[in-house]
Amino acid sequence: MGFMANLLTLRSIPSIAFVSVVFLALYKYIIYPLFLSPLSKLPNAHPTAPISPAWILYCRWSGRENRSIQAAHAKYGPVVRLGPNEISVNSVEDGIRPVYSGGFEKHAWYPNVFSNYSKRNMFAMMESKPHSNRKRMLSNIYAKSTLSNSTHLHALSEILLYERFFPIFQNLAANSTPVDMFDLLNGVTMDFITGYLFGLSASTNFMQNPDKRHRCMEMFHHRGTNLFWPQELPKFTRFLGRLGIHMQNQKTLRMANREIEQFNIDMCDAADRALESNKQDIEKSAADEPVVYAQLKTAMSKQRIKESGELTEKDFADQRLQIASELLDHLAAGHETSAIALTYTMWELSQRPALQSKLRAELLTLSPNLVLSHPSDPSHPPSPSSSSSSPARPIPSFKDLDTLPLLHAILYETLRLHPSIPGPQPRVTPPSGTSLGGYAAIPGGVRVSAQPYSLHRCENVFPEPEKWLPERWMEAPDFERSEKKGIEEDGDEEAGEKVSIREKEKYFWAFGSGGRMCVGSNFAIHEMKLVLASVYSNYTTTIVDDTGIEQGDGYTTGPVGGKLVLKFDAVV
């Protein structure tokens, strides 16, 4: 009997082990996340969110992440659970402020795809300390005070507008030729940002070279395709790769990366040569100064010398790639986001002729202004109106452009409704845990994010958020007025709840917030205002083809159709 009992006991051990494993699995993956986890108190964006990330991963893979998260916030409030270890916030005081100004580190989502040359740039840095060190090297050259007084930016803007931009539009207006503005604006913004990064002589000329522009934009498109796999499932993607299964077209991806990285480092090297020659040539144009490149190289060299005493050949080679990685990130973000915002601004204005007239009236108050004497005659070099006493090629100051309330309101409302980066900005809760949105004891290591798409649609701040209403940003001197329920072009309005401009600005998140907000936001705003002022001082725009103008759903996204065809007519 004893032998049989022992035998039965031995036979039951596997069963006990199996039951134990099943119970532990049920506890870890079902019972704990559903009922016992601190996150179990949060509303779920989807019934399966506590036990599986499958729902939010599917939303990201299928291109409906932003809308799905927004629908969850609209239904459940400012904090929602997206997965077993992921939440989204959609408030300021107990949401984006503690997360983005409270030292939460970046998620691995960033370096997974935003590094270049196998080097992490500022945007891809997860930890705060290296990010702060890099930002100190760069923030001054993007500061509003620096840009306002920059002889380089003034000289660069003058050449880009009068030698490239205006001649194109004179021809378009003279021949009544429709043009794809999304395509052209990518060239305009690329020329501006590379001119500031590398100096005019080392930068692109995409406005006048459409073939080069199209090739470069094609490579950027390939480079940004199917980022879901390496970004959201990096280990799984690498495992499949070892098995010979690739979720991205490897040949196309390698070609795109190789071309883009070579394109960028060629400009870095040209800027370096220009920097050396500028030391010998005091007659060089101010526009040729490689402002950002020079600042970054000097700051990096000083830091390395401080750390190691002297620079070796290996240090120089590594520094070259570090600089190239940083500036490729500025170049990529600096051209694409501004082109998207300008495209949607011109699309909205093209539907409103009366608003174009009001904007032009405001632009005429600039001194000097940007009105051309022959806006539709390409036989005349672009020059100011004959009635103007302006310089030969006038450029309004940064400060003067900033004082135009309607121009500012039009741009801000576009950035609210059509943010170029509408998607989530993931962070990780600190090891000590945190409280968000009234929910205490949120543990460390949780992925948490906010997204402009949702913050810009908070109805208590932006009534009728799906409507493009620039008047939201045109406040009375005391910064408070009645938020309009809708203004038609005849001026009819219906008063609604008062919302202060300061409150709106808290929720305005087109450039992020906190220590990691977009370092180039001042440059981008100035560039976009200057381009809009140049166009609408001289031309009216009408839509020829806006098929596919609806904005895609993703992290950085423009029109799903990839185009906006407009017609330009000179103002008489």
Q: What is the model's pLDDT at position 29?
A: 74
Q: State whether residue 130 is helix, strand or coil.
A: helix
Q: Which residues pair with 439 in a beta bridge?
A: 436
C-alpha atoms less than 13 angstroms from C-alpha of 84 in its C-beta half-sphere: 12
Binding site members for heme: 518
For 31, 78, 232, 262, the CA distances from 116, given in Å and listed in that order, are 42, 35, 18, 11
pLDDT band for position 484 (cuts 50, 70, 90): very low
Q: What's the confidence (pLDDT) of residue 225?
A: 85
Element holding 495 (H helix, E strand): strand 495-498
Per-residue model confidence as pLDDT tens digits over 14-73: 777 777 777 677 766 788 777 778 999 999 999 999 999 999 999 999 999 999 999 999
List, as own/partner pairs, every contact residues 247-253 make where C-beta atoms lie below 8 angstroms and the sequence separation is at least 24, other chains included. 249/222, 249/225, 252/222, 253/222, 253/223, 253/225
**Closest to 288 in 3D by CA, of 275, 269, 303:** 275
**Model confidence band, residue 290 (pLDDT cutoffs 50, 70, 90):** very high
Would you call 50 exposed, middle or buried from its count of C-beta atoms within 10 A (0-12, 13-18, 19+)? Answer: buried
Averaged pLDDT of the chain: 91
Residue 249, pLDDT > 60, answer: yes
* 467-483 pLDDT, tens digit each: 999 999 997 543 333 33
Phi, psi (deg, nearest 5) at residue 435: -125, 135
Give the integer Cα–Cα distance in Å for 360 and 348. Answer: 15
Q: How far is CA 156 from CA 122, 164, 277, 330, in A?
A: 26, 11, 19, 18
Mean pLDDT along residues 389-401: 85
Beta-sheet strand order (sheet of 179-180): 179-180, 565-570, 539-545
pLDDT cut 90: percent of the chain above it: 78
Q: What is the rounded average pLDDT of the residues 509-521? A: 97
3-state secondary structure 239-278: HHHHCCCCCCCHHHHHHHHHHHHHHHHHHHHHHHHHHHHH
- Rounded mean pLDDT of 247-254? 86
- Return the half-sphere exposure (C-beta side, CA atoms, 13 A cut-off) of residue 443: 12
pTM for this prediction:
0.92
Preceding peptide of 381 cis, ω within 30° = no
Binding-site residue numbers are: 518
- Give SS3 for 518: coil
